[in-house]
Structure 1
Amino acid sequence: MKITFCGAAGTTTGSKHLIEVNNTRILLDCGLYQGKRSESLERNSQFPFDPEKIDCVVLSHAHIDHSGNLPHLSKRGFTGNIYATPATRDLCSIMLPDAAKIHEHDIAWLNKHRKRDDLPELEPSYSMVDAEKCMRQFVTVSYDRGMFIADGVRLTFIDAGHVLGSAQVILDIHDHVDNKQKRLLFSGDIGRPGNDLLNDPAPSDRIDYVIMESTYGGRKHELATDSSDHLCKIVREIQQRRSRLIIPAFAVERTQQLLYTLDKLRHENCFGPVATFVDSPLAVKATEIFRLHVDDLRTAAAQALFMRDDPFGFDGLRLIRSVDESKGLNKVKGPAIIISASGMAESGRILHHLRQNVGNPDNILLFVGYCAENTLGWKLRSGFKHVNILGDEFDVRAEIETLDSFSGHADHDEMLGWFDRVQGNKSRVFLVHGEPDRSNVLCDALNEKHSAGHVEVAKLMQSVDL
């Protein structure tokens, strides 16, 4: 068996890991690389393998940095099955066409500037039609239901607790070369224990090899109670100032978690009524999918949907769908909360809200999740005083706040706790999906904890025979 780390090695985006065993090529995830525009276009337009020779894809979850290049893979000749949980499949049915629409829009914008500079036009890697065709290749597999996906390879998904439908991937492999049984665990993205909406990441056993994310190595998130107090204080502040709270948030899971938390705090009389807007057609659709998969939610969250007034539809909440409604938010007087995608502030309607609000010192910009290096969100979180938004420069005068407790990723201590619940010899552990300094800190901690095995940080295009 051979593993090649084709993406999300030395960085947090573009997850792709190739497993070759028994004359079969299995791709774990096929995500988009997100970062500098030129580098992203280059990385996402090429594959370090022949798509036609990939036999199947196993998808850990629906986030675009894990799923977003599937339409391009299919367009380039991949015809096999894409295995995913039912909720992941349903989320991809809205997220992949949305990603294609954004990609086509970005290419059109770039071509306008390239034409001005007498440069040749670029072609989109894939279209919305490609995204819709790709959905026909999905095969759903529920949690804890094993399925043979190749000669001598049995797939089992277990809950990762990261986003609705997210999975840890277990491959039970009978390697015909050495006639040995091998059990590989791919963590996907590890969720946080105690999430309001989702179940805790499931434990696993008899694991020989681990591919593990490392996004928050060396970092510790705020406690949930501290986070609630912080959010209350922020909302009260914008009420007092009669200003705006702008929250860039991923349309899937982060937006729903924010709504659930705001509704809970509202019931606890933390703050008075405040106009709240979700300006993301994708988030509105995703919220409906959460309702469809209520069995995947934590018991308390599922009960809230039926026994309390709807946490995804409380008084004062308005779900924005049309462009005209979105533009109309510019005229809304404060106080107001605007939640909009994308979470890294790289595309979507959030860019227009940032243009309108980043220069006002009374406004607050709240970041509630990870932003990859060089994204606009990362620059704002990092304290840049001047940023480029849709081609224009803006002074950053708005107050910047962060609440990493809303992150869907486990922090350093939580990843160590997750590792303890992975039972087996774990003879080789490969860290992926992390910036180098984060991965190295986690690697040192794991090697100290796990002296019986070997932990290393995977390198891009590194191949390992196991």
Structure 2
Amino acid sequence: MRVTFHGAAQTVTGSMHLIEVNGQRLLLDCGLYQGARAETYARNLHFPFDPATIDAVILSHAHIDHAGNLPNLVKQGFRGAIWATPATRDLSVSMLQDSGHIQESDVEFVNKRRAREGQPPVEPLYTRADALATLKYFMTADYERPTQLLPGVIFTFFDAGHILGSAMVQLDCQEAGRTSRLVFSGDLGRKGLAILRDPARLTTADYVIMESTYGDRLHETPVEAQDHLATIIKQTFRRRGKIIVPAFAVGRTQELLYALYALTEEAEIPNLPVYIDSPLATNITEVFRLHPECYDAETRQLLDQAEGRGGPFGFKNLHYVREVKDSKALNFLRESAIIISASGMAETGRILHHLRNNIGDPNSTILFVGFQAENTLGRRLLDGVSPVRIFGEAHTVRATIERVEGFSAHGDRRDLLEWVGRMERPRLRQVFLVHGEPESANALADGIRQLGIANVAVPALHEGFELT
């Protein structure tokens, strides 16, 4: 068996790992890389292998950095099955179409400027139609149900507790008379977060591929995060400003709604209007309602108690914005409000328009609630860069920039070490750390070695390993 790391290698985006076993080729994830625009387009467009030679894809979850390049894979010749949990499949229906639509819309906007400057137009990476063509290749498997993937290869999904439907992947492979087990963590969640169950406990593997996003730091607790959020909202309200939140449509938006509902019910924050300005987030929230099997007991109880009052996904001052004209109308709001919009790293979508219209307002707050990868607009804002470019135009940053990390759906250093620390030592032969920038991945590698697990690697992009 051989594994080659074609994405999320010493970075946190573009998850894509090629497994070759028994003459067959399968991908763990097929995500979009996010970063500097010219590099991003070229890297996402050109695969380092022929997509037609891939026999199957196993999808850990529906976030775009793990699933967003599937339409390109199909467009360029892939015809195998894409395996996912039922919730991941349902989320992907909306997310992939939305990704295609956003790329078409962003290119249309950019091409208007390019035309004014006498530059030739650019093409979208893929379209909504390409995304639709991808959906027929999806097949689903429930958690903890071993499934034959290919001859000699059985996979099993386990709950990763990261977003709705997220999964760890256990691969049991028979090759040349030898059986080996590879476990891919996907993105690992945290214990005690709202809505979802805690990550499953796995204890046996020969090889582990695991994320390392927060391998060098600890999070605020959920209670501390909620208190921090309340403080930011009250401070901005006193300035009569708006709170603009770039948030992933899947997971982060719903967790924020859960927190805002609780804070409002407890009268901890002013009763501000909350706008979810994302057709995708609106659709995704409906998918959340369809999959209560993924909820923890506390969330099920809360939803039962809130029946008739709207609950965390439908409270009184919550408004879902679908139409473009209604999104544009938010630019003329004069009172304080909370506007939550995708994308979470402020790279595409309606959030760019809200940033463009509010980033120069000293009364407003730009609030980040998730990880911001290198070379993204979100990272530049957190790093204090000003001016920043939005749709190719320079904007001076006068709004307050805030961050609340306690809402992260990724496990922190303590969570990650606890998870891998459960693995039986005599059997575990190698750990590969992905989905983390070099500082966090190397820090986590040192921590894992201190647990007595000697063979830990932080692969470079396109680096391959023979698993013997």
Q: Same fold (TM over 0.5)?
A: yes
Cα pair 2:220 2:405 within 8 Å, conserved: yes
Structure 1 residue 460: Cα displacement: 1.0
Query: What SS does the aligned partner of 1:139 have?
Result: strand
Q: What does residue 254 of structure 1 align with?
A: 252
Give the alignment's Cα RMSD to 1 decimal.
1.4
Equivalent residues in 2 for 1:167-178 (5 A)?
A: 167-176=167-176
Q: CA–CA distance in 1 between the matches of 2:445 and 2:333?
A: 49
Query: What SS does the aligned partner of 2:312 have?
Result: coil
Gap runs ≥5 in structure 2: none
Specify whether residues 47 and 222 from structure 1 end up closer, same or farther in structure 2 by C-alpha distance, changes over 3 A only.
same
Structure 1 residue 15: Cα displacement: 0.7
Structure 1 residue 362: Cα displacement: 1.1
Equivalent residues in 2 for 1:222-237 (5 A)?
A: 222-237=220-235
Q: CA–CA distance in 1 between the matches of 2:380 and 2:273?
A: 28
Deviates more, 1:213-222 or 1:155-164: 213-222
**Structure 1 letter corresponding to 2:157:** F
Q: CA–CA distance in 2 between the matches of 1:324 and 1:111?
A: 21
> What TM-score does the superposition give when structure 2 sets the normalisation length?
0.96
Structure 1 residue 119: Cα displacement: 5.5
Q: CA–CA distance in 2 between the matches of 1:340 and 1:307?
A: 28
Cα shift readout 1:59-116 (whole Å, capped 9, x = no counterpart): 0000000000101101111000000000000000000011111222333445455556
Structure 1 residue 274: Cα displacement: 1.2
Q: What does residue 351 of structure 2 align with?
A: 350
**Structure 2 letter corresponding to 1:223:** T
Cα pair 1:251 1:280 within 8 Å, conserved: yes
Gap runs ≥5 in structure 1: none
Query: What SS does the aligned partner of 1:401 have?
Result: strand
Deviates more, 1:234-243 or 1:103-112: 103-112
Q: What does residue 304 of structure 1 align with?
A: 302
Deviates more, 1:207-216 or 1:262-271: 262-271
Q: CA–CA distance in 1 between the matches of 2:119 and 2:23?
A: 43
Q: CA–CA distance in 1 between the matches of 2:332 and 2:249?
A: 23
Q: What does residue 74 of structure 2 align with?
A: 74
Q: What does residue 211 of structure 1 align with?
A: 209
Cα pair 1:30 1:66 within 8 Å, conserved: yes
Q: What does residue 130 of structure 2 align with?
A: 130
Equivalent residues in 2 for 1:256-295 (5 A)?
A: 256-295=254-293
Aligned residues: 463
Q: CA–CA distance in 2 between the matches of 1:103 and 1:323?
A: 16
Q: What does residue 335 of structure 1 align with?
A: 336
Q: CA–CA distance in 2 between the matches of 1:14 and 1:157?
A: 21
**Structure 2 letter corresponding to 1:146:** P
Query: What SS does the aligned partner of 1:356 have?
Result: helix
Deviates more, 1:405-414 or 1:298-307: 298-307
Structure 1 residue 118: Cα displacement: 6.0
Structure 1 residue 258: Cα displacement: 0.2
**Structure 2 letter corresponding to 1:100:** G
Structure 1 residue 303: Cα displacement: 2.4
Cα pair 1:184 1:210 within 8 Å, conserved: yes
Structure 1 residue 209: Cα displacement: 0.2
Query: What SS does the aligned partner of 1:101 have?
Result: helix
Q: What does residue 318 of structure 1 align with?
A: 319
Q: CA–CA distance in 2 between the matches of 1:286 and 1:117?
A: 38
Q: What does residue 465 of structure 1 align with?
A: 466
Q: What does residue 451 of structure 2 align with?
A: 449
Q: What does residue 104 of structure 1 align with?
A: 104
Cα pair 1:205 1:423 within 8 Å, conserved: yes
Query: What SS does the aligned partner of 1:246 have?
Result: strand
Q: CA–CA distance in 1 between the matches of 2:69 and 2:18?
A: 15
Cα pair 1:295 1:302 within 8 Å, conserved: no
Query: What SS does the aligned partner of 2:20 have?
Result: strand
Cα pair 1:243 1:362 within 8 Å, conserved: yes
Q: Answer yes or no: is 1:94 the counterpart of 2:78.
A: no
Aligned residues: percent identity? 51
Q: Answer yes or no: is 1:238 the counterpart of 2:236.
A: yes
Q: What does residue 190 of structure 1 align with?
A: 188
Q: CA–CA distance in 1 between the matches of 2:280 and 2:389?
A: 25
Structure 1 residue 421: Cα displacement: 3.0
Cα shift readout 1:422-447 (whole Å, capped 9, x = no counterpart): 34522100011111111111111111
Cα pair 2:158 2:169 within 8 Å, conserved: yes
Specify whether residues 242 and 114 from structure 1 end up closer, same or farther in structure 2 by C-alpha distance, changes over 3 A only.
closer
Q: Answer yes or no: is 1:413 the counterpart of 2:452.
A: no
Q: CA–CA distance in 2 between the matches of 1:22 and 1:435?
A: 32
Cα pair 2:381 2:401 within 8 Å, conserved: yes
Q: What does residue 50 of structure 1 align with?
A: 50
Cα pair 2:6 2:15 within 8 Å, conserved: yes
Q: CA–CA distance in 2 between the matches of 1:112 and 1:247?
A: 27
Q: CA–CA distance in 1 between the matches of 2:73 and 2:369?
A: 31
Q: CA–CA distance in 2 between the matches of 1:241 and 1:125?
A: 41
Cα pair 1:204 1:423 within 8 Å, conserved: no
> What TM-score does the superposition give when structure 1 sets the normalisation length?
0.96
Specify whether residues 124 and 350 from structure 1 end up closer, same or farther in structure 2 by C-alpha distance, changes over 3 A only.
closer
Structure 1 residue 374: Cα displacement: 1.1
Q: CA–CA distance in 2 between the matches of 1:133 and 1:182?
A: 35
Q: What does residue 401 of structure 1 align with?
A: 402
Cα pair 2:18 2:28 within 8 Å, conserved: yes
**Structure 2 letter corresponding to 1:430:** F
Cα shift readout 1:323-361 (whole Å, capped 9, x = no counterpart): 111111122222211111111111111111111111111
Q: What does residue 155 of structure 2 align with?
A: 155
Q: What does residue 3 of structure 1 align with?
A: 3
Structure 1 residue 320: Cα displacement: 0.9
